[in-house]
Amino acid sequence: MRRLILFGTLAALLLGCGPSEVPKTSISSDSTQVQEVTPQPLPLAPPLERPDIEISGLTWYGDTLVVLPQYPSRASGPHARQLYGLSRSALRAAVTDSSAAPLDPIPIPLETQNPHDHAADYEGCEAIAFDGRRVFLLLEGSAEGRGMVGHLLRGRAAPNLRRIRMGGTDEQRLPQQARLPNMSYESLVIRGDTVITIFEANGARVNASPRAYQFDPVLRRLGGVPFPTLEYRVTDATALAPNGRFWVLNYFYPGDRETLHPAPDSLALRYGQGATHRASDVVERLVQYRYTAQGIRRTSRAPIWFELGDGTGRNWEGLVRFRDGFLVATDRFPRTILAYVPAASPQRGTVP
């Protein structure tokens, strides 16, 4: 692997590419064998299809898909906040029947006394996860010119998701790992009684020692565990499977090049790229990890590459497992999209 990376870097210098670019000729794997999967958009009913909802995270609560808006008060007014639920059965019908009616969201009132809701530095919700009726929420805020800061909150869901109530004092400020504009913690994973927070930017040139920070159910800090270097952004994660494995959304918009300063992409160098990725600088893929006692490790599974759309990129912000594949969601760029991503190609097997 080291030889491949060094070769790609040397080739970039010789061919005159910028320091954060790797010429496509340096990807030595047989890229023609890499299959991309096509996201299948699902129809959404109002208000969930509105761009200003800005979907920021997805998670399951039983058979209800909980959709987290970045700003929960936008569709419900300044003095009310709500999340949205979609039933598993309705989602299953939408995936299997192209003529199915648009998915009608169920409002989930969000009650919170959190002071960040009206603070000038508040920049919205980023991720949500449930442990039974306990609920954990990630918020993001600016840090007075010093980049972004993540906040972890805890609360409780009422039976049947009649409402979610977040405490005003149940909060932990997360360690700042890199001073980057609009980038902080965007993913939550639950393992037993441990809440794990994952930073958004884990590239070699912007985060020298990425770590996932852990908390107990009452938000006492349990320390951090190493998180492997990964270029581009990590914007959401699935729940852990029984074997400790989970997937993350890994996205790159070329307009973020000056912020992220991406190093050569080791995953593309090792596994190759599909046809649409070879023709674009955009990256849309899923990467698999496993939680171990020694830290979070990347598995040997190849990434799942999405077939790119028109080349502008889709800012995927939400991810959950569904059937034998995944559900993914964008914020508002290029528009609101909830999509089903089918299982990986046969040579990669099923999705554990």
CB 39 within 8 A of CB 341: yes
Beta bridge partners of 189: 196
Q: pTM of the entire structure?
A: 0.88
**Predicted local distance difference test score (pLDDT) of residue 312:** 85
Tokens of 339: 């999509």
List the 221-226 sheet strands across, edge first.
185-191, 194-199, 211-215, 221-226
Assess whether pLDDT exceeds 90 at residue 157.
yes
**CB-facing half-sphere around the CA of 291: CA atoms within 13 A:** 27
* pLDDT higher than 70, residue 176: yes
- pLDDT at 5 (0 to 100): 34
Looking at the predicted structure, is the pLDDT value of residue 138 above 80? yes
Rg (CA), the chain: 20
pLDDT at 25: 39
Sequence-ordered list of residues with C-beta below 8 angstroms from that of 343, at least 6 positions apart, any chain: 37, 324, 325, 350, 351
Kind and range of the H or E element at 274? none
Give Cα separations from 137 to 65, 87, 117, 197, 352 (angstroms).
15, 21, 13, 10, 25
Token pair listed for 32: 């023609």
- Between CA 41 and CA 270 the distance in angstroms is 30
CA atoms within 13 A on the CB side of 160: 2
Compute the distance between CA of residue 110 and CA of residue 99 in angstroms, rounded to an integer: 32
Task: Please check the confidence at residue 1 and state whether its pLDDT lies above 50.
Answer: no
Q: Which residue has the tokens 């609101």?
A: 336
The distance of Cα 79 from the centroid of its chain, to the nearest Å, equals 28
Residue 115 is predicted with a pLDDT of: 52
How does pLDDT run across 226-253, given as a tens digit for each residue?
Answer: 999 999 999 999 999 999 999 999 999 9
d(CA 45, CA 27): 42
Nearest CA to 250 out of 194, 300, 315, 311 is that of 315
Q: Which of 115-124, 181-190, 312-321 has the least mean pLDDT? A: 115-124
Least confident range of 161-170, 277-286, 289-298, 335-344: 161-170
**What's the pLDDT at 12?**
34
Cα 352 from chain centroid (whole Å) = 18
280-337 confidence digits (pLDDT tens): 999 999 999 999 878 899 999 999 999 998 878 999 999 999 999 999 999 999 999 9
CA distances from 277 to 9, 32, 75, 122, 317 (A): 19, 11, 36, 35, 19
For residues 75-86, average pLDDT:
80
Exposed/middle/buried for 10, CB within 10 Å: 0-12, 13-18, 19+? Answer: exposed
